C-alpha cells in the first residue's frame, strides 16, 4: 500500500523557499531577523554573531578552521542553513574559491536589535480599557477547545459540542488534501486526512499554517506579507490584549481564521476590540522540535490488545475509533480493543502500522510511559504482521479464457499474451489461461482473427 507522507515544515522552511527578492525584503523587518536568528542551529547562531561586525567576506576554507575535524558535518549543515535563508551570501572569485558575507540588511537590523534591545510590535492595551482578561490556564483551555472542535468537525461533525462555521479560507486548506467532497455529499476524510489526525498537535498546526500560507495567493494576500505578519505575531505576549484597530483589513480577516484554530482569542469591549495571543501563536517562530513539548499521555495498552484511555475528550475517542473498537465510554475512561478488523479498516484508509504504533507510544499514560517498551511488543509485532497480511495478496484485474478449439490455437494465444506482457497463468492440460485486463481487447481481436 503506497503511503502518503505529510511533512510539517516550520516557518523557516517556508521563509527559505521564498524568492531571493522577497526574502531580502523580509529582512527590512527587525522582528523577522530576530525570528530567523532564534530558529538557527546553535553553530549557525555562533557564526552569525562572529560575523556581525565584520563587513568583509570570509573565505570558506578559513571558516572550516573554526571547528574541529569531527564537527565538519555540523559546520556544513550550519552553512547550508544560513545560505538557504540568505543570511549568508555566497561569492565565488576568479580562482573559484568560495567566500561568505553576512546579508547587509540582516546584519544592520540585528546590530540595532543588540544595541537598543527588542521592543514589542505593539503595546498592550491598558487594563482600564479591557474587561477581565482570561488567565493563561483559561487561555490554554480555550486554545485546546478550539483545536479539538476544529478536528472534530473533520472527523465527525455530529460529535462537536457546538456547530462551528469555519471560514472558507480555513476550509479550503482541507479541501486541498485532507477532505474530499462530491456533489450533494458530506465532506469525507482522505488518506492524508486520516494520517493527519494521528500526528502530534504541533505537527498538525505546522501543516495547517503551511497550507494556509500556500493558499494565500488565492485570497489575494501576498505569502511573504502573511509570513511576516505571523512571525511578528509570535513576538507578542501570550495573555496580553492588543488593539485590533492597529491591524489592516487583511490582518483582521486573518485573525478571524486564527481564532478558529485557537491561536488567538477575540474579545469585544464597549468601544474597543482586541485580540489575545495564545501560546500556539507565540510559539510560531520556534522550530517544530523546540515547540513540541511532550504532553501527558492517556493511553494504556495491555498484552491482550485491550486499550484504556484515561480521557474525557470526544476527540480522543474519535481518534481511537480510527484503528480500534471502542466498546464503551465512561466520564473519564474510554475502553476498547485493537482487533484485526479495526486495523484492516485503518489500513484501508491509508493509516500505516508505524503511525498507529507511534501514536500509542507518544500518548502512553505516565504509568506505562516509563517502561521499555511503553506498548507491549506482542501488540506492536501483531499490528505490523496484520498490515503485512493485508499487503500479501496483490489484486490484478484479469480475464479467463477457456474452451479453445485446438491445442495449437491455445498455445498461440499463450504466446501472444506472453509477448504483450499480459499472461498471468495458463493450464495446458485444460487449455485455460488468464490475462491482464489491460490487454483483454487486444486478445479478443487476436482470437477473432484466428477464427477467420
pTM: 0.68
What percent of the chain clears pLDDT 70, i.e. is strictly above it?
88
CB 343 within 8 A of CB 1: no
Say which residue, 100 or 17, is predicted with more confidence.
100
Peptide bond into 373 cis (omega under 30): yes
Determine the pLDDT at residue 6: 43
Give tens-digit pLDDT for 88-117: 999 988 888 999 999 999 999 999 888 877
Give tens-digit pLDDT for 139-160: 999 988 888 888 887 777 665 5
Determine the pLDDT at residue 328: 92
Determine the pLDDT at residue 380: 96
Residue 291 has pLDDT above 50, yes or no: no
Instruction: Report, as an integer, the average pLDDT of 199-206.
Output: 78
For the domain covering 11-116, report its CATH number: 1.10.10
Beta bridge partner(s), residue 265: 276
DSSP secondary structure string for all residues of 50-85: HTTT--S-EEHHHHHTTS-GGGHHHHHHHHHHHHHT
Indicate the domain borders of the chain: 11-116, 136-291, 299-392, 398-451
Architecture of domain 398-451: 2-Layer Sandwich (3.30)
Strand runs (DSSP E) across 44-174, as ranges?
Answer: 58-59, 88-92, 98-102
Instruction: Report, as an integer, the average pLDDT of 357-372.
Output: 91
* Distance between CA atoms of residues 384 and 420, nearest Å: 37
* Distance between CA atoms of residues 54 and 164, nearest Å: 54
pLDDT-derived band at 330 (thresholds 50, 70, 90) equals very high
Amino acid at each position: 500500500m503506497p503511503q502518503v507522507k505529510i511533512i510539517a515544515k516550520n516557518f523557516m522552511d517556508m521563509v527559505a523557499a521564498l524568492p531571493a527578492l522577497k526574502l531580502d525584503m523580509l529582512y527590512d523587518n527587525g522582528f523577522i531577523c530576530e525570528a530567523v536568528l532564534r530558529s538557527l542551529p546553535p553553530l549557525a547562531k555562533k557564526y552569525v554573531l562572529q560575523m556581525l561586525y565584520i563587513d568583509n567576506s570570509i573565505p570558506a576554507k578559513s571558516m572550516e578552521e573554526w571547528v574541529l575535524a569531527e564537527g565538519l558535518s555540523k559546520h556544513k549543515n550550519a552553512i547550508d542553513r544560513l545560505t538557504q535563508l540568505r543570511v549568508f551570501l555566497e561569492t565565488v572569485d576568479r580562482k573559484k574559491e568560495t567566500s561568505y558575507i553576512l546579508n547587509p540588511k540582516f546584519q544592520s537590523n540585528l546590530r540595532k536589535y543588540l544595541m537598543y534591545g527588542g521592543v514589542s510590535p505593539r503595546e498592550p492595551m491598558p487594563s482600564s480599557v479591557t474587561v477581565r482578561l482570561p488567565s493563561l490556564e483559561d487561555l490554554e483551555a480555550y486554545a485546546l477547545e478550539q483545536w479539538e472542535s476544529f478536528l472534530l468537525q473533520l472527523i465527525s461533525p455530529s460529535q462537536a459540542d457546538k456547530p462551528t462555521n469555519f471560514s472558507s479560507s480555513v476550509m479550503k486548506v482541507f479541501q486541498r488534501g485532507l477532505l474530499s467532497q462530491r456533489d450533494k455529499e458530506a465532506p469525507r476524510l482522505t488518506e492524508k486526512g486520516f494520517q493527519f489526525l494521528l500526528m502530534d498537535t504541533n505537527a498538525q498546526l505546522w501543516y495547517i499554517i503551511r497550507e494556509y500560507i500556500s493558499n494565500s495567493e488565492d485570497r489575494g494576500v501576498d505569502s511573504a506579507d502573511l509570513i511576516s505578519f505571523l512571525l511578528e505575531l509570535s513576538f507578542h505576549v501570550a495573555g496580553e490584549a492588543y488593539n485590533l484597530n492597529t491591524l489592516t483589513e487583511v490582518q483582521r480577516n486573518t485573525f478571524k481564521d486564527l481564532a478558529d484554530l485557537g491561536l488567538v482569542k477575540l474579545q469585544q469591549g464597549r468601544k474597543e476590540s482586541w485580540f489575545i495571543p495564545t501560546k500556539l501563536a507565540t510559539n510560531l517562530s520556534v522550530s517544530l522540535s523546540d515547540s513540541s513539548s511532550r504532553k501527558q499521555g492517556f493511553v494504556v495498552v495491555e498484552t491482550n490488545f485491550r486499550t484504556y484511555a484515561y480521557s474525557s475528550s470526544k476527540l480522543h475517542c474519535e481518534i481511537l475509533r480510527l484503528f480500534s473498537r471502542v466498546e464503551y465510554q465512561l466520564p473519564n475512561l474510554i475502553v476498547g480493543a485493537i482487533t484485526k478488523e479495526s486495523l484492516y479498516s485503518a489500513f484501508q484508509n491509508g493509516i500505516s502500522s508505524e503511525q498507529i504504533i507511534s501514536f500509542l507510544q507518544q500518548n502512553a499514560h505516565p504509568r506505562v510511559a516509563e517502561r521499555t517498551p511503553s506498548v507491549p511488543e506482542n501488540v506492536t509485532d501483531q499490528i505490523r504482521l496484520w498490515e503485512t497480511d493485508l499487503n500479501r495478496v496483490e489484486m490484478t484485474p484479469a480475464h479467463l479464457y477457456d474452451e479453445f478449439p485446438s491445442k495449437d490455437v491455445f498455445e498461440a494465444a499463450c504466446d501472444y499474451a506472453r509477448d504483450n506482457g499480459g499472461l498471468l497463468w495458463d493450464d495446458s492440460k485444460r487449455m485455460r489461461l488468464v490475462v491482464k485486463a489491460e490487454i483483454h481487447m487486444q486478445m479478443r481481436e487476436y482470437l477473432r482473427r484466428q477464427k477467420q
